[in-house]
């Protein structure tokens, strides 16, 4: 009896161990959560020196950035090209063609550096040799040309003209149309008042009135009689421009010139003969198609200023 009881207890113990073992095999194992570790860097082969950890990481990709002064400004509908703007007059362009619209006045101009280019004065009896700025420009192998100063109904210059040192006309202090001069003296081109003209000038043209002087508009300019205009512009140093404008008065033109971009010369401005005498030509040496601007009923003129390389 005792033997049977012991045997029964032994069988129950063995059955309990089997159940526990079966449960331990079917129950899911416990999961331990740990913080994420950085990716392992593979060890280099024994025959190579170890690399720093940074070498195994991808280098940062550069981010493209468009500066605020980019020459192209993207609008929702179009791309607008803006001309480059040098930092200071010493970094300005040496030769360029521009067309601007300021206060409703269209200004077409060629600007240049007098250390590389100069204006040659081509004088004639009106229509004797050249009937247009284009003809005069091509005759001298020039880059561009514009009509010059005023002349009398008889074809005589209204003031003094010097071309290659040769004089035409006489000095005139009585008219506002000869109140200023363009001169090339001792290799330096400038715009001056009559009183500051040099006797040493090899090229000289009296014209007027002076539109801008040292950045300020000249007093007494007329607000009437709009007409096509031909003008000279100077920055006071080495940069000049020859320019043609749409019809405007002298006073409104002076105001518009003061608003020109800083990279274009406009510290001083001198008016040339205008109206039917206005004549402006740009040849293909400036990588532009031949451009001619002037009055549709153009008259023959006394002289031209021709842009040439030094």
Which residue range(s) make up the domain with 274? 95-309
pLDDT at 17: 44
Residue 168 lies inside a defined structural domain of this protein: yes
For residue 265, being part of any structural domain is answered with yes
- Asked if residue 209 belongs to a domain, the reply is yes
Does 6 reside within a domain? no
Counting the structural domains of the chain, the total is: 1
Measure the CA–CA gap between 111 and 262, rounded to whole angstroms: 13
The tokens for 76 are 């929702």
For residue 281, give Cα distances in angstroms to 93, 145, 254, 270. Answer: 20, 5, 23, 18
**Is the pTM for the entire model greater than 0.85?**
no
Instruction: Evaluate whether 195 touches 138 at the Cβ level (below 8 Å).
Output: no
* pLDDT, tens digit (0-9, with 9 covering 90-100), for 162-190: 999 999 999 999 999 999 999 999 999 99
Of how many residues is the chain composed? 310
Q: Is there a domain that residue 102 lies in? A: yes
Whether residue 163 contacts residue 183, with contact meaning beta carbons closer than 8 Å, is answered with no
Tens digits of residue pLDDT in 66-87: 333 323 222 222 323 334 444 4
Specify if 9 maps to a domain.
Answer: no
Residue 87 lies in a domain: no
Q: Which helix (H) or strand (E) holds 21?
A: helix 2-26
Say if residue 32's pLDDT is above 80: no
Residue 51 within any structural domain of the chain:
no
């Amino acid at each position: 009896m005792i033997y049977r009881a012991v045997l029964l207890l032994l069988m129950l113990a063995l059955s309990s161990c089997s159940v526990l073992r079966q449960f331990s095999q079917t129950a899911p194992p416990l999961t331990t959560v740990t913080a994420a570790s950085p990716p392992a860097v593979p060890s280099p082969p024994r025959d190579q020196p170890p690399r720093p950890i940074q070498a195994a990481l991808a280098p940062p990709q550069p981010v493209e950035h468009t500066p605020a002064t980019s020459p192209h400004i993207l609008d929702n509908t179009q791309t607008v090209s803006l001309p480059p703007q040098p930092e200071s007059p010493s970094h300005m362009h040496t030769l360029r063609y521009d067309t601007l619209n300021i206060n409703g006045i269209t200004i077409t101009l060629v600007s240049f550096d007098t250390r590389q280019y100069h204006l040659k004065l081509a004088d004639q009896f009106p229509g004797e040799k050249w009937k247009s700025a284009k003809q005069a420009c091509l005759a001298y192998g020039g880059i561009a040309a514009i009509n010059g100063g005023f002349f009398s109904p008889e074809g005589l210059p209204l003031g003094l003209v010097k071309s290659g040192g040769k004089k035409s006309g006489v000095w005139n202090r009585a008219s506002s149309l000869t109140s200023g001069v363009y001169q090339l003296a001792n290799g330096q081109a400038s715009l001056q008042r009559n009183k500051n003209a040099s006797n040493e000038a090899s090229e000289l043209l009296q014209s007027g009135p002076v539109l801008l002087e040292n950045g300020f508009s000249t007093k007494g300019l007329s607000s009437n009689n709009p007409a096509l205009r031909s003008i000279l512009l100077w920055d006071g140093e080495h940069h000049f421009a020859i320019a043609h404008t749409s019809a405007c008065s002298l006073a409104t033109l002076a105001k518009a010139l003061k608003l020109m971009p800083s990279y274009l010369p406009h510290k001083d401005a001198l008016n040339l003969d205008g109206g039917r005498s206005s004549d402006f030509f740009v040849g293909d040496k400036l990588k532009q198609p031949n451009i001619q601007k002037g009055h549709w009923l153009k008259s023959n003129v006394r002289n031209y200023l021709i842009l040439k390389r030094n």
